[in-house]
Amino acid sequence: MPRRGSLATLLLGLAVSCPLQPAPPLAPRVVLWAWERPEDLSFLENPSVEVSVLLATLELRASRWRTHSRQQPIRLPTGKRPRGTIRLEMRDGASLAHYSPAQLRGVAQRLVDLARARDVSMLQIDFDARESEQAAYLALLRQTRELLGASRPLSITGLASWCTQGSWLEQAPVDEVVPQLFRMGPEGPTWRARFARGGAAPCGRSVGLALDERHRAPSGVDTLYLFNPRPWTSESLAQALKDLTP
């Protein structure tokens, strides 16, 4: 955890480039989600602040799918290699549970092709799998893991309610699960308290928070993903680190 006494130095290092005094690393590591809108993140200086760029949204229908690649510009510091997020959305009443093995293989290949084209450091899949789709989602993740290879990590976002002992997530061949601890409704406080107590296996090492909800990350988190409903600025990032980090 960053020491409170060094917080002013840390925030200054995020906003101002100073080659002789590089910004200290953060604990936890922070990842900014960059969704489908123009983003200028060239102000980032701290190497522990990473970016996960929305590469595309895949609209999945019963017999076909359509790729909507990112259209909005994004600026990153020179040399910063982003992570990549791909959103899956079921349309027209389709269900992943009804996809054949060949269809799942095709979706997995598309996911991997998009990650390789952008040369992202990690592929992250964002999919709100219904209970009936969990077995098919596991099959898709296995196919994706096989095609992606061992050198590039695989991450998924998830619901806090997936994070229980014996959950299907324990079978997922992924390097990271990022439960989103925001937009949770009336059950939010209960789940956030469970994460704070460390009782959210097989999750807990990474979590996602939103800037407009101001909930602190549970202690012991290795990676903190941040959602901002507005474009990122150095000021909003500095405020987020002050409000949300343990």
- Tokens found for residue 240: 């987020």
First to last CA, the chain: 7
The predicted pLDDT at position 23 comes to 63
What does residue 215 show for φ and ψ, rounded to 5 degrees?
A: -95, 135
3-state helix, strand, coil in the chain (%, to 5): 35, 25, 45
**Distance from C-alpha of 204 to C-alpha of 195, rounded to nearest angstrom:** 7
Sequence-distant (≥ 6) Cβ neighbours of residue 199 within 8 angstroms: none
pLDDT in tens, 55-66: 999 999 998 899
Per-residue model confidence (pLDDT) at position 203: 86
- Reported residue count of the chain is 246
Reported as a pLDDT band with limits 50, 70 and 90, residue 22 is low
pTM, 2 dp: 0.88
188 has a pLDDT exceeding 60: yes
Residue 11: per-residue pLDDT: 39
Determine the pLDDT at residue 246: 75
Per-residue pLDDT tens digits for 98-129: 999 999 999 999 999 999 999 999 999 999 99
**Segment (H or E) for 227:** strand 223-227
